A and B are shown apart, each in its own frame.
Chain A
C-alpha cells in the first residue's frame, strides 16, 4: 500500500545529467594530472614564475590521444577517492571506471 504512507522524499529537483558528470570528472582529473606533470617539470628546470605559462605542455602527456598506463592508474585512484568521499554513486563509479579502462 503506497496510499497514505508517510513520504520519504523531500523536495525533488532535477540534477545535472549523469553523463555530464562522467566526462567532466575525467576531464578534470586529466587536467590535474597534466598540471602535476607541469609542476614537476617546472621544478626540475628551476623556471622563473611566469615562464610556466608561455611554455608548451610537456611532451609525456598528450591529453587528447595516448593515455599512459600511469595516467590510467592515477585516474582510477582519483575515482576511488572521489567515491570514498561520497561524490559518486556506485553506478557513476562503475561507468567512470569503464571509461578510464577503455581509453
Chain B
C-alpha cells in the first residue's frame, strides 16, 4: 500500500503533563482525513534529565482517552533509535509527544496529478525564516534586491 508523504513532529510541553488542549484541533484534521496519525509516542524528561518513554496505553487514563481517538489507525513504525534521538532534544522537566503522520490530502492530490500525467518535479517545505523574510520584505528597504524599479 502506498502512503502519502510522511512527516514527524515533536510537541513539547513544560512540566509533566500532556496538554489535551491540542487534541480538538488535531482531531479536526484527523477526522477530516487531512492527515492520519501513523504512530505516537510520549517522552517525559524529569529535572535530572531522566527520560521515560510511554506508549499511548502507558499514559494516565484521562490523557490516554483524550489521545486515543487520534490513533485509531496506527502502526508501530517509530524505532527505538528515533525515540532516543527525539529524547535528546527534549528539555528537562518537560513532556513531549512524538507524532508520525501521513499527509492523506497529498496522497489524493498526488493521484490526481498522476492521472493527469503530471509529475511533481520539485517541492520542499520552506523554512519559516525565509517565508517571514519574504513577507516582510519591502522594496528599497535593504539595498537593491531583485530587479524591481524602485520608483
Contacts and interface: CB of A to CB of B under 8 A. Distances in A.
Interface of A: 1-9, 11-16, 21, 24-25, 27-29, 31-32, 35, 49, 78, 82, 85-87, 89-91, 94-95
Given A1-B76, A86-B123, A91-B22, A7 B81 contact: yes
Contacts of B114: none
Contacts, number: 89
Nearest to A12: B85
Contacts of B85: 7, 9, 11-12
Given A7-B79, A8-B77, A78-B135, 11 more contacts: A4-B80, A5-B77, A5-B79, A12-B85, A13-B89, A25-B128, A29-B135, A32-B136, A87-B125, A87-B131, A91-B22
Interface string B60-89: 000000000000000011111111011011
B150 A6 contact: no
A11 B35 CA distance: 23
Contacts of B136: 27-28, 31-32
A91 B37 CA distance: 13
A74 to B, nearest CB: 12
A95 B25 contact: yes
A41 B93 CA distance: 53
B123 A8 contact: no
In this complex, which of B81, B83, B100 has the most chain A Cβ atoms within 10 angstroms of its Cβ?
B81
A21 B128 contact: yes
B28 to A, nearest CB: 7
B132 interface: yes
A94 B77 contact: no
Given A86-B124, A91-B26, A12 B34 contact: no
B151 interface: yes
